[in-house]
Structure 1
């Protein structure tokens, strides 16, 4: 039992798991912000645009989207809520794409390529190499 608890503690303390947990928490908070933006700004704006179309309701998008709701044997299928969720998902995905793209670019700017400059041998280097070879040959003869 102690071994299993030790392995579990090691697993939880890995950087990947902690990073994932932080990502989930930040993602849920970010999703809440996007949902409020969609519900508070985008949905009323779309409702305003739809209200300009002749024959629509008073500009309330919820009333307009309720037209899309289908009742079948006492069960209501709320297509308007699905459309709102799809809009939220697309906006969330796009903003997260922009954040990840910016993070990757910043990471690439931080990582400078390593340039290896090879030292060109000088005449002294060649002479030292010849000297070492001559010494090695002299030692082999002895």
Structure 2
């Protein structure tokens, strides 16, 4: 029962829940970036360099065929286009994360640059201030 209680305490910590939320949001962001690259960025680039569809850009190591039993054997290919798409996706995600971290750091720096309010005077300081004010008032009355 002790291990179950420890696990429950671990899972209910704020940092673990924050991490889980971050993973879910990151997965969704990854899907958005994948769609952006595959459907919006790469088609115009492919068109500009001669109508290349990067998703079909492969190096064929062995052509598809039929084995001795009559079963179809798929081609063995290296998916260069998929690799290029993944590199572009990684670059976009890395840049987005960089910008978020830069924004967070700027906000932290801004908070650190704000001067703190001076502390309230101690009772001794208040008493000395009153004495000074009284002495000034007496000096002006003469």
Structure 1 residues 74-133: Cα deviation after superposition (integer angstroms, max 9, x where no partner): 4111111111100000011101211222233234334534254696x87x64xx9xxxxx
- How high is the TM-score relative to the length of structure 2? 0.67
Task: Answer yes or no: is the 8 Å Cα contact 2:60–2:78 preserved in 1.
Answer: yes
SS of 2:29's partner is: helix
- Work out which structure has the larger RCO, using CA pairs closer than 8 Å and 6 or more positions apart in sequence: 2
Counterpart Cα distance in 2 of 1:113 and 1:21: 36
Task: Answer yes or no: is the 8 Å Cα contact 2:59–2:78 preserved in 1.
Answer: yes
Task: Answer yes or no: is the 8 Å Cα contact 1:44–1:61 preserved in 2.
Answer: yes
Unaligned runs of 5+ in 1: 52-58, 129-142
Unaligned runs of 5+ in 2: 63-74, 132-142
- How high is the TM-score relative to the length of structure 1? 0.67
Pairwise CA RMSD: 3.1
Counterpart Cα distance in 2 of 1:113 and 1:10: 38
Aligned to 2:65: none
